[in-house]
Structure 1
Amino acid sequence: MKKILIGIGIFIGLVILGGAGFYAWYTQSTPYYTQITTTGKKFDVIDDETGAARDIDYPYTQMAYDEKGHGTEVDFNGHKSRPLKMQAYLRLDYSTRRNQVISWEAVPKEKVPKAALAKLNR
């Protein structure tokens, strides 16, 4: 009986460690920086159950640059019912494994790395 409980405990521990490792691998991201230069295109988010509009969002497609100035075109949503502030600088958490923006936050111009800022201000 004791050996079975030890085996179950080891199995549960391995499942937890494996899940945590996969989560860390899956959510790994690289910081990229961009500046809002368009208002985005307004669209309604439709509720699957009622078919009615339940929210408004604004998607953006634009260039973003890492700390070394390497660029990539990114797509992301503002997740707000209004467009993002024009000329605002954003730090994007970009997953190169999934080729998508995981999250974003507004940052002051001083927090944008010089190489990225030089590319954004061309």
Structure 2
Amino acid sequence: MKKFLIGFISLIVIALVGLQIADKVVKGGDDYYVQVTTDGERIDGKDSSGNPYVDYKYSLPGYDKDGTKKQLEFNAAKDRPLRREAFLKVTWNKKKGVTSYEEVQQKQLPKKAAEKLGV
């Protein structure tokens, strides 16, 4: 009984670790750097409960740490556009597209990406 219990607990721990790794792989991706140059396209909509919401749709060129360009399309679920001239680190996943973004300072840009963005 003791061996069964140890084996069962080990199996549960291995499964949980595997799920965390799989989740990180699915949500992870390649980092690209963009500069917000437009106010985005305002999209007004309603959720499934009928509540209104505002999104801003962006299509901007992004550059990875090696300076490779990719056209990135993503929505910002905010009640106002993203700040113009802001630099964003965008995570892009082959299966899901853009999965996240965060604002970064100009000094945090990789050298080749900064060159391509003209800074």
Q: TM-score range by the shorter chain?
A: 0.7 to 0.9
- CA deviations over 1:61-113 (Å, ceiling 9, x no partner): 11100011001111111221111111211111222x32522221222222222
Task: Could you tell me which runs of 5 or more consecutive residues in structure 1 were left unpaired when the two chains were aligned.
Answer: none
Task: Could you tell me which runs of 5 or more consecutive residues in structure 2 were left unpaired when the two chains were aligned.
Answer: none
Q: How does 1:93-104 map to 2 (within 5 A)?
A: 93-95=91-93, 97-104=94-101
Look up the equivalent residue of 2:62 and give its one-letter code: A
- CA deviations over 1:25-76 (Å, ceiling 9, x no partner): 2222222111111111111241202x341x2110101110001100111111
Aligned residues: 119
The question of 1:108 aligning with 2:105 is answered yes
The alignment's TM-score, normalised by the length of structure 2, stands at 0.85
Number of the residue aligned with 1:64 = 62
**How many Å separate the matches in 1 of 2:44 and 2:19?**
35
Q: How does 1:1-122 map to 2 (within 5 A)?
A: 1-49=1-49, 51-53=50-52, 55-95=53-93, 97-121=94-118
**How many Å separate the matches in 2 of 1:100 and 1:14?**
29
**How many Å separate the matches in 1 of 2:105 and 2:10?**
48
**How many Å separate the matches in 1 of 2:106 and 2:7?**
55
